[in-house]
A and B are shown apart, each in its own frame.
Chain A
Amino acid sequence: MTPHAHDDHEHEVATEARFVIKPKDINEEISWAQINEDVLSSLERPRPLYWVIFFGSLAAFCWGVYCEIYQYNTGLGVASLENPQVWGLYIATFIFWIGMSHSGTLLSAILLLMHADWRKPIYRFAEAMTTFSLMTAGLFVLVHLGRIWEFYYVVAYPSERWTWPNFSSPLVWDATAIGTYLTTSIIFLYFGMIPDLAICRDKAHGFRRLFYRVMSVGWKGTDWQWANFRVTYLTLACLLIPLAVSVHSIVATDFAVSQQPGWHTTSFPPYFVAGALYSGCAAIITLFIILRYTFRFEQYMTIPILEKLAKLTFAISMVWTYLNLIEYASVWYGTDSYAKDALIFRATGTYAGWWWAMNILASVVPFAMTFKAVRTHIPTMMVVSLLLNLGMWIERFMIVTPTFAHGYYPWTWTGNWWPNWVQIGIIIGSFGWFTMLFMLFCKIFPSVSMYEVKEMVYHRIRARKKTAPQPAPIVQPAQS
């Protein structure tokens, strides 16, 4: 084989193709027209399960709205909040939703920079998950406030009274960081969708054509547009990654900056970021399976991709487990007797069952994913991903509640606090709100990136051609 020069990127793809692909991530024989047709049909008639999920989540959302209206009118006392349990499930679930948002960025931005092309069929819905879970988290900040109608005091806005928020408070950092992250991820989601919206525009009729025409802002697919698109998309991805890391670090400082036992830990920011990526990856697996079925995406959301997601989730779960054990160890061997006492209370007190459930669900269950049979079996992966997310939700509950129940001051130790139906109703409503928005998004916008899947297929075919066995050179027998 004669050495010949080709550019780096092709070489990289060729190397990957030669050594990595066993079962194919995607059917390389699929034509571009077929990709358009398959994805666009997801905007038409999904499987009936779609409507079950949509109306189910709408009902849950309505129930949540009812609970919130009741709480708004009567006061937060109806949510069984009390002194000292002043935060309850609202803040715990707030962290949960913020955490969910991280893996969208992981898939769409970090893996983009790492040239992991298996992300291409699934990053779009992951990015949508980021946006909607951030919106849900934002709702919890409002639901939790005593005077919701004055939430804007927390935002730094120019006021004629010269009053500013208190910049030393982590809640102000929160408001700023989440606002920035939400704005950037909406732009990122929308921007990455523009070429696909143009395809929708070309195929649509009537008012939908008008809608997609406005949304696709005159995309024609010229070289000039593609060049600018690439640069901007990459820049946005680079901007988004530090934002994602900073947002959850800042949420962690809500706890780490405070003085309470069990919260006052410097390892909280990386611990929170790892937990965020972890629960987000598990949620992506859940949504992957749901979308694959409801929109008939079997060709694109393939088993090898699911397997890669499972491996990624397992890796992150081990990082999280390590940081979790570090936190226990640093408290256990530390000199802060209050924190140690709070840790013992978690493991043996009122919430011991939850604490052990969290450790088993989030640290032991992921080991199931070390088996290939589990990774490639869809119903099992569905169950595993839901269990992991349950574990991560309990983790947030375990961060917030026991510290209130067992703080510094013995007089305020409450052994038996549990949330009541109003809190649980609002939590259920938040899940409904998220699922409803997500399902609407998948119905209105292409949830698989058409142009990137085409790229993926194209590169893989080229790579295969490059590495295809060359015909053996004909050796002429030496004849005199």
Chain B
Amino acid sequence: MNQLLGRARQGDKAAERQLFEFLLLRFQTFARLKLSEDVADDIAHDACLTVLEKVRSGFTPDDFDHWAHGVLRNKIGNYYRHRDIQQRVAAEARTADQSPGAPRHQEAPILKKNLLDCMRMLIKEFPVHARVLNLVYQGYDTTEISNRLKLKPGYVYSILSVGRRLLRECMRKKEP
């Protein structure tokens, strides 16, 4: 990325395009975890353009990664603020399904079935992971989970990593 950045600052169009695509892919992934897909893509695109404009203008932050991520974060924050204002002005009650903030997933039923089968196996075979997962689904974050289960934070991440590996193996076996 340093090379891309350097070339983009010197006006290399190909490097600019590569940097844009590199960032867009990641920003879309981050934003989709927080927003619906279409809104996330717009915001990711907007954040990438802002970053690129700054790069073109010769702006050189100390830590490019943190700064670029901060641009995306600000865009997402702005979106939420703007949406709240719009909601207040319109005074229209939206249902959760209509809210653009709620991620929409229309995945194939077979994938859901496979996923639930694997989760059933995982919960049965790996109860400590199930206890962590139970707290995740109650809305606790990892710091709170480690406190509640009296486990070291590193062990919580280790449990989740093992669970993820088992889940991934299970899903891979079920792939057609």
A, B: real partners:
no
